[in-house]
């Protein structure tokens, strides 16, 4: 099987780190990439500090097939992502005529002030990513995709980007409810199954609510046969434990 296609996600913004804004992009992007066969391997959230953004950009873009960023591409003084990306790549940055043309679709000439033109500052050599909602584009340079932080705009940019991405075999995931069984009861058997099925990864995920714990076992892998075999082994284990009347 071909090498997996990997990705990292870099969320840029003080407002996420202060807790003022609750991030809605991580879960969406994670699910989206998984769905198209790209493994999201790491996420970082950094503040609106250029040195921090540059360091994270350079660390992540060198490690993974793709790096996606969200946030910091608006018109205000705290929007410094484009400059940080230019610095990370060691390239210049200036008003991009293609980006200016996009902004002209939204703004009258007298509205296109210096602040709004900031949104047309694009690192040299980058390709633009369209923004159908507010026109100010994202961009791609090297293996880095720079997107807006506003979820609706980010989602639309991701739809634009997706067909251009190299994708791998889709990761399949099967969820098995461990109804009435506690993790501690199936953990040993599950570890044995995990060892015996090296082509898949098996996780056990408890959640807790007023009605108590609910445990789900998830089998993930790219080979449908291997996943099916591991799922059958897990179901067999749970069935055996229930028949034995193992305490919860």
* Residue 96, φ and ψ in degrees, nearest 5: -95, 120
Of 70-78, 89-97, 160-168, 224-232, the segment contacting a copy of itself by CB under 8 A is: 70-78
Considering only 53, 120, 194, 234, the residue that binds a copy of itself (CB under 8 A) is 194
Note whether 31 binds a copy of itself by CB under 8 A: yes
Q: Does 4 bind a copy of itself (CB under 8 A)?
A: no
User: Which of 5, 12, 38, 46 forms a contact with a copy of itself (CB under 8 A)?
Assistant: 46
Q: Which stretch binds a copy of itself (CB under 8 A): 19-27, 122-130, 158-166, 236-244?
A: 19-27
Residue (42 or 50) nearer to a copy of itself, CB: 42
CA distance 126 to 82: 10
- CA 106 from chain centre, in angstroms, equals 29
Strands 93-95 and 144-147: unpaired
Q: Is residue 146 within 8 Å of residue 140, measured between CB atoms?
A: yes
Residues 132-151 that bind a copy of itself (CB under 8 A): 133-134, 150-151
Does residue 241 belong to the site contacting a copy of itself (CB under 8 A)?
no
Nearest to 13 by CA among 60, 36, 47: 47
118 binds a copy of itself (CB under 8 A): yes
List CB contacts of 143: < 8 A, sequence separation 6 or more.
61, 64, 65, 66, 67
Q: Which one, 32 or 89, has the nearer CB to a copy of itself?
A: 32
**DSSP secondary structure letter of residue 108:** -
Q: How far is the CB of 41 from a copy of itself (least distance, A)?
A: 6
């Amino acid at each position: 099987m071909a090498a997996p296609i990997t990705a990292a996600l870099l969320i840029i913004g003080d407002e996420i780190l202060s807790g003022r804004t609750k991030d809605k992009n991580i879960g969406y992007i994670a699910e989206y990439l998984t769905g198209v066969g790209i493994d999201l391997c790491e996420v970082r959230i950094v503040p609106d500090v250029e040195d921090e953004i540059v360091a994270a950009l350079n660390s992540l873009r060198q490690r993974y097939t793709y790096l996606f960023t969200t946030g910091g591409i608006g018109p205000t003084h705290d929007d410094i992502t484009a400059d940080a990306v230019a610095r990370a790549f060691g390239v210049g940055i200036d008003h991009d005529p293609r980006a200016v043309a996009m902004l002209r679709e939204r703004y009258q000439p007298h509205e296109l002030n210096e602040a709004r033109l900031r949104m047309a500052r694009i690192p040299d050599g980058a390709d633009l990513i369209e923004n159908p909602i507010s026109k100010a584009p994202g961009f791609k340079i090297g293996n880095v995709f720079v997107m807006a932080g506003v979820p609706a705009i980010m989602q639309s940019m991701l739809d634009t980007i997706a067909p251009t991405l190299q994708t791998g075999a889709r990761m399949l995931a099967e969820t098995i409810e461990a109804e009435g069984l506690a993790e501690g009861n199936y953990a040993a058997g599950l570890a044995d199954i995990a060892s015996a099925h090296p082509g898949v990864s098996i996780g056990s995920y408890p959640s807790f609510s007023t009605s108590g714990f609910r445990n789900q076992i998830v089998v993930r892998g790219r080979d449908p046969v291997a996943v099916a075999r591991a799922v059958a082994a897990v179901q067999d284990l749970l069935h055996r434990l229930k028949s034995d009347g193992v305490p919860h």
